[in-house]
Structure 1
């Protein structure tokens, strides 16, 4: 009769330290025991962050299908006009992409973001070029794509900060993922500031040319695009020599890109 095999007690599992069971270091555990409210605050912040992500995602999905009737910039311009005692009426008229002249769509792409059909929200080549040029320029030039401009115009407040820039990156990624290029361009053509209290190419076309955006000519569309860098300084109705020169440059770029065919596969 064989004797039972002795148990090797040296191979039994050693008790785990408290830090490995909680997933935290002893120092963190000690701090939480001394200040238990820290754990509650941390949990609350995580819940708020998750809630904010969920709301922002739902907001972007909703605006994929609904007209963008108001933006923070529109509200800001209206409040400024009221504070100065001026007429604060906003000129805006949401118009579907199909009812806007493709000359207008091509003009803003030729002027603002020629890589728009190809990039995923950010033109890194343009960003690198801007960084190099801004080392010697008195007035720095931006490198924002149309997607970035839509993200900050529709979802964010007016101003400059690291928080706003981070949110701009976040919303740019979301609209590229959820909306797609045609919707982004449609929103841009409707919310871009085109003159004093004037937003979108439809409102600009009716206010300054006297007809719907559907009938914009190449020159008219190029002039609207020419004032976009600063529509409060440059005028569509009374174009300066600079605006006229820029209009001609944009018209040439529209031809070089191949005309309306450039945007066929958005």
Structure 2
């Protein structure tokens, strides 16, 4: 059997077909080999063992990522995010539990791809709850059960809502977002000098003096109220809110915070919801 370490490491830079071809050459591991490598990594810190576990499961990431091509994001980017999830799975994989890595890794791979899609897909920036995410990632498949239709009827939306455990109105709203299209604000050079694009009808009131003063006052009140609301939280809740909502760069995921506090991702979500409710009450009262 050819070991993964004897093969070249595929690069995501360049031709995606070439990457897939190389990744598919890595042999699948037997259960005994998988356990041996996992034990070498966790017991001895053998990075080469972890590397071989990752390389032998690249085809799994490719297969899962292919299922998310309908969201208009590059296949290579989806694979890259999935690979991050795979590496997290290898780090947390416990061979003594009797579960194969392929089954354990699927959750982590999908979680990373979901986070990437939600951060980059313009129509679902508000899809932050568990129910909204479930609806977003399952609505396309549910619509496919009704052959030959572009838009769900009220009855069909109700049936989908019942199957997914959400409200009928939420199905209709999400379908509207998914079917939305971008509108160019600026016209094409071929439109002519006298043509008007949508941007020509938009007034810019940002620098109107009264508006500037009002915005500054509102920002000051918001910052003061936010500081007081954060101060009312316990240290763990405050850390979660700041990492999820107030980070300068990319927001932390539930799984990253779960690893930091050694609890489940669902527990982090519960703490986040409770903290935001408390802050909302304080800000409303103010």
Q: Which has the larger radius of gyration?
A: 1
- Superposition TM-score, scaled by structure 2 size: 0.24
Structure number having the greater helix percentage: 2
Relative contact order, CA 8 A, sep 6+: which one is greater? 1
